[in-house]
Structure 1
């Protein structure tokens, strides 16, 4: 489409994404306190379409509970889930992806109440049934993804010829009782790995997964030191759990857990498969019953952590020596919900829109998410648009103009460096693709 344009690429952008440089910049920001930054960022989430407006919705999100997401928040959440899934199923360890039911008809006595599922009740059913009978028959909503994996253990154990270790990965909705004491279930998006290994290696495998998970969280962080791990005290361990570790994020209001890793022993397997002990024995030379390790992550809180971690505040002097703050969501290129914004400069509007539409289609085909800023009819200056896109976490702003019609050249501004460069329109897809790939390898 644009092959007739003259090629002229200037590539002086700082290539790739460096969390180390970003971390230093973050510490050099303005004098705002942590709580001030918290309020600024929470309002920013609403203004820039990460979450829906409303005090109650913002509070849900702040607590790490599933809330009403806007278009950018929805895409960011999908990106986080995609990267988590890729890290698990694409690792060198043998991990199978599974999908289990959100509800269970297991009776309360069958699991001893240990799974903690809130119940979903229909008013008409309550009127028709005896209350005690209704509680016995009604499905229970899961509070975690562990039971579903344990239920699938024997089929997958036989699939791998009873050889250890192996794991099961799953993401999905779970329901937990509200912390406000109302007794109402709240929805949480969980990501879970259940790892089965021999008893003699379970401690080493737990250490391995703690290192892997902490490395994963820090990979996407602007300030990696805000992510840490800590062992659970013995008085917080329940049942057959012998050891536990939390991966934490330091929010302005305090540390909150993002993932919990537990060495659960063989208790769940023995409980689930009473009378089938022989089917649980592995073929690793000792014929032992596998130990179960669980990694349970809260994706909603993880999304909140990445957003808080990416906030940059730059003080700058504006007109009449007034101090203004430039807010930037420096999200990792793999997580940024929008990679490129397309805008129009000076020139024939109809022709320039046609160029933008063609470029937008090419970006979609290359699976590079783009924002159609050229459809914005508000009287915003280019500087105002750049500030808006910085707050949305968009990596690059591309402006087409009459120069594009004449020579195929566009202006490309980087979110991270604010440098504006001129390059040929035919080079854009390749440039953006290489930029994102380079960030993935860091």
Structure 2
């Protein structure tokens, strides 16, 4: 029996060692294999596939929808539900365009873009340079460069167009605004231009006074929000890493200016701990604190928690001390006070804001990449996703040994009883070995096999995904609330 304290990764390694597995070495096409698995098993489908697709558009299939919901539920629980100092909000996707003018998005929400004269493809200049430069110091310096400086660096390093391969073919860089613009109104003559929100944060800022007064919150307190955002990215790519439509998980934590640095460090640690708690290995994570010259104009400090993707280290979770920038902008533009009144200290001030901002698709991609593994068991390949039980699409799979009564009746009853406290799959197609492999590929932590002995002893065979160990467990014990909640193989 594996010790309860073992991590997911250590349990997998221990199980492999016990069974004499030959682990396959990581290869350069990890992301390609993961994309194929996601398509094959119903995690992710290409968007609009029936009509030839839409570039950088993805639909979450049955398993992807379940996994994304689990990720978002865990985030909501950890950052909102279990914290007495945080509340939730669901603000509108469509806001008065004055919001985006006041926040600076209309004028400044841009990326540097260039066009290749050879093939007319549009590319982000900073990404071209970052792929070419060797050191982190050189990469960090790009963010502070002017457009002419970026142009000169493209020539200096003979950067080639990723589409056609030509060098020195790029037109002068220019700023490209990432806002999606649409119109609202019954006719063309009366319509008003509005924007699809590029972030959920502004909805929290313009509702700061509403939330604070109705919920009677004293500083410090946070406003958590989940929802769709849209950015007209120049160079989307790397599967779920950068898409034009995505789900954001953001917390705006309002604090006294004198305490903002401490809270900033606190939330950096909380975000890192969340990722490791739900299965990402520490060796695939690192913290990158932005140097002063790389900071956004509104930020006092920013840390990116980066993940080691197949294409290199890149941002997974951004945590910023945004100071009072946003509240001040909206207060000045609206003419309405957003200051906080501390009746005890008898002072009035604009709070500072600490913002941990995460994309659901990006963290889901990171968890899938981290969990993906291939092993050789008795000369045959086994593909497995070592997903955390709280993240995996299904916590259990109920498998009748054969497709015959009365096993089907018992299995169906067990499935229905478990569904009250967990997400459960019910699979009767194919041999039991094939069904085990299918569940391994989609990350199901435990399979519960109903066989003919079950009719007599009221027990099922519980199979652990990571170690492939099996044991007989009474159905009554499995149905106990604690066991269903924790679903640890060693707890039975």
Superposition TM-score, scaled by structure 1 size: 0.82
Shift of 1:226: 0.8
Alpha-carbon distance change, 123 to 34 in structure 1, aligned in 2, over 3 angstroms: farther
Task: Tell me the residue number matched to 2:424.
Answer: 370
1:338 aligns with 2:394: yes
1:402 aligns with 2:452: yes
Shift of 1:209: 0.3
Instruction: Select which of 355, 359, 369 maps to 1:294.
Output: 355
Give the gaps of 5 or more residues in structure 2.
110-177, 238-242
- Pairs within 5 Å for 1:48-87: 48-52=41-45, 67-87=58-78
Task: Tell me the residue number matched to 1:5.
Answer: none
Shift of 1:276: 4.0
For 2:218 and 2:183, the matched residues in 1 are separated by 42
Instruction: Select which of 310, 322, 327 maps to 1:269.
Output: 327
What secondary structure does 1:143 align onto? Answer: coil
What secondary structure does 2:90 align onto? Answer: coil
1:245 aligns with 2:303: yes
Alpha-carbon distance change, 216 to 29 in structure 1, aligned in 2, over 3 angstroms: farther
Task: Tell me the residue number matched to 2:133.
Answer: none
The question of whether the paired residues in 2 share the 8 Å contact of 1:340 and 1:397 is answered with yes
For 1:153 and 1:251, the matched residues in 2 are separated by 36
For 2:304 and 2:410, the matched residues in 1 are separated by 50
Decide which moves more: 279-288 or 68-77: 279-288
For 1:82 and 1:49, the matched residues in 2 are separated by 20
Give the gaps of 5 or more residues in structure 1.
1-11, 319-323
The question of whether the paired residues in 1 share the 8 Å contact of 2:67 and 2:393 is answered with yes
Query: Please, what is the CA RMSD of the aligned residues?
Result: 3.3
1:389 aligns with 2:439: yes
For 1:280 and 1:76, the matched residues in 2 are separated by 39
1:19 aligns with 2:8: yes
For 1:244 and 1:352, the matched residues in 2 are separated by 57
Write the deviation string for residues 328-352 of structure 1: whole angstroms up to 9, x where unpaired: 1111011111111122225x81211
For 1:293 and 1:145, the matched residues in 2 are separated by 14
Alpha-carbon distance change, 254 to 139 in structure 1, aligned in 2, over 3 angstroms: same
Q: Which has the higher contact order (CA 8 A, sep 6+)?
A: 1
Shift of 1:305: 0.5
Superposition TM-score, scaled by structure 2 size: 0.74
Q: Matched residue pairs, number?
A: 405
Alpha-carbon distance change, 51 to 373 in structure 1, aligned in 2, over 3 angstroms: same
